Amino acid sequence: MKAVVVHKNGVIKYEELDLPLMTKNTVKVKIKACGVCRSDIPRILNNSAHFYPIVLGHEFSGIIVDKGEEVKNVDIGDHVAGIPLMPCYECENCKNGDFALCKNYKFIGSSVQGAFADYIVLPQNNVFKIDVNIPFEQGTLFEPSTVALHAIFKSNFSKGKRVAILGGGTIGLFVLQWAKALGASEAVVVGRDKSHLQIASKLGADKVISTLDYNNIFDDETLIEVGKYDFIYEASGAEEMIRWSFLIANAKATICMIGTPTNGIMFPGKQWEIINRKELNVVGSWMSYSSPFPGMEWKMTNEFFMNKKLKYIPEMFYKAFSMKDADKAFNLFNSGEKIKGRVLLKNDM
């Protein structure tokens, strides 16, 4: 088969590669589409791959073309989305059903070979059967949707409340959709990029705010009503948003941290103290799994993609490339071009 192989930092070749052997518990998937995740970029261009040569790619969809004799969950011909986490199932956290917190996990496209290839061979637990009416492009959105729903679960979301989503990227857009679908009375999305915010409006945001329109979000009182939101989802990882999340929170609000900061965060004492004064509930959310593996996050994504309560709008995708042009897709992230949505790699269908 052909695969996109990263040989060393910045050196990518589309070349022949041997497929791993099947075992009685594995399936072989013909990859149809795979998203280029922001987390892949440092692995390609910034020396942060676990090993070389490596095939990346963890947000994928495809068709089962072969299966081992003990595979029961799926059949040849089934359409599937990839489940990238390979937990050990044996550590204390796995035994509690907290698979994302596994102490010995592997991850497809990071610690094991990924899906930027013609085929991938995986344990049957690492594919999720999806409805045949779900386009393969949309199939690559299972993972981000489940990450968003996991945060909704971790925050003990309840309906009829006001919700603020900080960050208008793919995760933020899915948190928005889940919050609305599950009964938020109002949902506002605050982000920078206006093209993302336009998509947020189409997906049902009651209000969108671009921080680019304000000099200082802490000073501008017209920006948003301070102290109004009961559930706040921080999906940007940006320092000012993390600090600001406490300010816009209602008393006893829950703030769920999803974004991973890339820089340090400095809190003036007065801002940190808001956690005490409002008796805030600050919770973290990591990946997208619950028990039984892979969890309700995955079942509900399939259901809500099917009944269209989670909308599929092609504008969420910015550009698609054929696998053989993977280097062009990766270089896009280094070109200074504004990337307005997701980038996909596809095999000819």
Stretch that binds Zn ion, among 9-17, 86-94, 199-207, 291-299 (CB under 5 A): 86-94
Compute the distance between CA of residue 321 and CA of residue 181 in angstroms, rounded to an integer.
32
**Whether the Cβ atoms of residue 101 and residue 93 lie closer than 8 Å to each other:** yes
Q: Give the H/E segment covering residue 270.
A: helix 269-272
Which of these, 28, 40, 213, lies nearest to 123 by C-alpha position? Answer: 28
User: Is the Cβ of residue 188 or residue 329 nearer to Zn ion in the bound state?
Assistant: 329
DSSP H helix total and E strand total for the chain: 11, 17
Question: Does residue 344 belong to the site contacting Zn ion (CB under 5 A)?
Answer: no
User: Is the Cβ of residue 106 or residue 278 nearer to Zn ion in the bound state?
Assistant: 106
Question: Does residue 88 belong to the site contacting Zn ion (CB under 5 A)?
Answer: yes
Closest CB 285 distance from Zn ion, rounded Å = 15
DSSP string, 300-347: HHHHHHHTTSS---GGGEEEEEEGGGHHHHHHHTTS-----SEEEEE-
Closest CB 287 distance from Zn ion, rounded Å = 10
Stretch that binds Zn ion, among 66-74, 88-96, 312-320, 333-341 (CB under 5 A): 88-96
**Whether the Cβ atoms of residue 233 and residue 163 lie closer than 8 Å to each other:** yes
Question: Does residue 17 belong to the site contacting Zn ion (CB under 5 A)?
Answer: no
Closest CB 143 distance from Zn ion, rounded Å = 6
**Contacting Zn ion within 100-159 (CB under 5 A):** 102
User: Is the Cβ of residue 35 or residue 211 nearer to Zn ion in the bound state?
Assistant: 35
Sign of CA dihedral 171, 177, 180, 181: negative
Question: Does residue 94 belong to the site contacting Zn ion (CB under 5 A)?
Answer: yes
Compute the distance between CA of residue 52 and CA of residue 54 in angstroms, rounded to an integer.
5
* Centroid of chain to Cα 178: 13
User: Is the Cβ of residue 127 or residue 217 nearer to Zn ion in the bound state?
Assistant: 127
Question: Does residue 37 belong to the site contacting Zn ion (CB under 5 A)?
Answer: yes
User: Is the Cβ of residue 87 or residue 294 nearer to Zn ion in the bound state?
Assistant: 87
Closest CB 71 distance from Zn ion, rounded Å = 22
Closest CB 103 distance from Zn ion, rounded Å = 6
Closest CB 93 distance from Zn ion, rounded Å = 6
Question: Does residue 41 belong to the site contacting Zn ion (CB under 5 A)?
Answer: no
CA dihedral 296, 297, 299, 304 (to 10 degrees): 130
Closest CB 59 distance from Zn ion, rounded Å = 5
Stretch that binds Zn ion, among 87-95, 178-186, 194-202, 339-347 (CB under 5 A): 87-95
**Contacting Zn ion within 159-178 (CB under 5 A):** none
SS3 224: coil
Question: Does residue 275 belong to the site contacting Zn ion (CB under 5 A)?
Answer: no
Question: Does residue 91 belong to the site contacting Zn ion (CB under 5 A)?
Answer: yes
Cis peptide before 135 (omega within 30 of 0): no
Binding mask 280-319 for Zn ion (x = CB under 5 A): ----------------------------------------
| CA angle, 69 then 71 then 72, to 5° | 125
Question: Does residue 49 belong to the site contacting Zn ion (CB under 5 A)?
Answer: no
Compute the distance between CA of residue 178 and CA of residue 337 in angstroms, rounded to an integer.
30
Amino acid type, 138: Q
Sign of CA dihedral 33, 51, 336, 326: negative
Q: How many residues bind Zn ion (CB under 5 A)?
A: 6
Closest CB 289 distance from Zn ion, rounded Å = 11
State the residues that interact with Zn ion by CB under 5 A.
37, 87-88, 91, 94, 102
